[in-house]
């Protein structure tokens, strides 16, 4: 399980790169889309409906981290805090690390 929590620190519109989420992609993955890795926009848009999260500063929202999501490239400044919460370790990149709250230390993988 992984939940992503986002807080916009600036107003976010289509111009400054809103967060986008592929609806139902957290539980409905087919064929080559089963692996959690970057995909071409066309592949995702052909298989899922896309929701954009625009909002004023201090807007916040949650998404399921196992669904396909991204921030559109901003054309102007965008400030956002992203917090990942999960019960399992999930490695995206070679140099990923995490902070273990129970042991109060960093884990490098």
pLDDT 10s digits, 5-20: 999 999 999 888 898 9
What is the pTM for the complete model shown?
A: 0.68
Residue 32: strand, helix, or coil: helix
From 50, 51, 63, select the one nearest 7 (Cα to Cα).
Answer: 63
Q: Which portions of the chain are predicted below pLDDT 70?
A: 1, 28-39, 87-101, 104-109
| Phi, psi at 45, each rounded to 5° | -65, -25
Residue bearing tokens 């899922």: 48
Share of the chain above pLDDT 70, in %: 68
**pLDDT given for residue 97 in this prediction:** 63
């Amino acid at each position: 399980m992984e939940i992503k929590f986002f807080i916009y620190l600036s107003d976010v519109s289509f111009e400054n790169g809103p967060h986008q989420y592929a609806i139902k992609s957290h539980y409905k993955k087919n064929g080559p889309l089963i692996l959690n890795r970057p995909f071409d926009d066309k592949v995702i848009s052909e298989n899922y409906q896309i929701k954009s999260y625009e909002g004023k500063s201090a807007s916040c929202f949650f998404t399921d981290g196992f669904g396909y999501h991204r921030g559109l490239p901003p054309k102007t400044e965008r400030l956002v805090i992203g917090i990942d919460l999960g019960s399992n370790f999930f490695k995206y990149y070679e140099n990923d690390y995490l902070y273990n709250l129970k042991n109060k230390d960093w884990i490098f993988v």
